[in-house]
Amino acid sequence: MRKILLSLFIATLLALSTQGCFLGVEPGSYEYTGDTGQEPPPILFEAPPDVIVMPDTRDVYVVPDIYIDLYFWNGWWWRSWEGRWYRSFYYDRGWIYYRSIPGFYFDVNPGWRIYYKNRNWQGHRWLYEKISNQRLQQNWKSWQNNRYWEREKTWGVENYQPQIEQQRQKIRLQLQQDTQKQQNRQEQNRQNRPQTQRQIQLQQDTQKQQNRQEQNRQNRPQTQRQIQLQQDTQKQQNRQEQNRQNRPQTQRQIQLQQDTQKQQNRQEQNRQNRPQTQRQIQLQQDTQKQQNRQEQNKIFLTIPRNTEI
């Protein structure tokens, strides 16, 4: 049995290196620094992925056509990265560090990829069913409560023969031991890395994040920035108008009187400085002539008729 498990494990590694429609960062382009606050690199899908249900498990689903192991179980998406486990409500983002190995993982057969490729589960024809993400989200809870895939579908395995409990526990224990050893080695390698390298990596990651934030800020639509500027200008004008209206009434009246007086003074000055027109001069001359004639007539009337000259 131990040799069989070892051969299945090796076959699984080979399958992982050859399959996949996974789109993400290049291997090795993102190095984990040991801080649990960092999440794994993103997984990019062209569409929500289909899953299949894993036989001999308690409703464990897996995305079969990518080269990483991406599981769905108990309402969460699960993935392992750098020897640590993460879970999320989304299949492609929002990964949260999980401090231990999830219990469902020890029921997953390490040779499932070979069985999937051959459509054969341990010597039995495996008519697996691909389940859309929408259908999964709508039904996973009722399927789990009713043990739908085990009792009604036998996971799509023809002439299914359930594992003996003793055999199941033995395989589970072996997987736990192998997984724990692998995690211990990865943790030891992580701790043995030079401190300076970890600090440099942390600084680089921080700088990348700041650059992305700055880029996003600069890429905001120009209209939004213009709207904000207009709103600020309008607020400033409103404050100035409010301050002007709140000035004491007497001061406003004094200012109004001063402005009126200045305007009147300017008008009077302009009137005095206007050049004397020709019509005004002619009018003055005519008036003077008329006055002279009147004066002449008055003198003539005052002389007596019989006076000899």
How far is Cα 175 from Cα 58, in angstroms, rounded to an integer?
Answer: 16
- Per-residue confidence (pLDDT) for residue 61, from 0 to 100: 98
Residue 22 pLDDT class (50, 70, 90 cuts): very low
Residues 6+ apart with CB under 8 A from 288: none
pLDDT range class, residue 74, cuts 50, 70, 90? very high
Quote the pLDDT of residue 53.
97
Contact 115, 127 (CB under 8 A): no
User: Which pLDDT score, from 0 to 100, does residue 265 have?
Assistant: 87
Convert the pLDDT of each residue in 104-147 to its tens digit. 998 999 899 999 999 999 899 999 999 999 999 999 999 999 99
pLDDT grade, residue 16 (50/70/90)?
very low
Q: What is the pLDDT of residue 166?
A: 59
Query: pLDDT tens for residues 209-218?
Result: 777 777 766 7
Q: Does residue 109 sit in helix, strand or coil?
A: coil
3-state SS track over 14-56: HHHHHCCCCECCCCCCCCCCCCCCCCCCCCECCCCCCEEECCC
DSSP 269: H
pTM: 0.49
Asked whether 15 and 69 are in contact (CB, 8 A), the reply is: no
Q: What pLDDT band is residue 186 in, cutting at 50, 70 and 90?
A: low
pLDDT, residue 31, reads 35
Residues constituting the chain:
309
Q: Cβ(16)–Cβ(113) under 8 Å?
A: yes
The mean per-residue pLDDT over the stretch 220-231 comes to 72
On the question of pLDDT at 179 being above 70, the answer is no
Q: Domain limits of the chain?
A: 2-216
pLDDT tens per residue, range 246-296: 766 667 778 888 888 888 888 888 777 766 667 777 888 888 888 888 888
Identify whether the C-beta of residue 42 lies closer than 8 Å to the C-beta of residue 23.
Answer: no
Q: What pairs with residue 88 in β-bridges?
A: 77
State the pLDDT at residue 120.
95
pLDDT over threshold 90, residue 13 = no
| Other CB atoms within 10 A of residue 68 CB | 15
Express each pLDDT in 152-172 by its tens digit. 999 999 988 776 665 666 666
Q: What is the rounded distance in angstroms from the CA atom of residue 246 to the CA atom of residue 287?
A: 59
CA distances from 293 to 248, 279, 299, 301 (A): 65, 21, 10, 13
d(CA 304, CA 233): 93
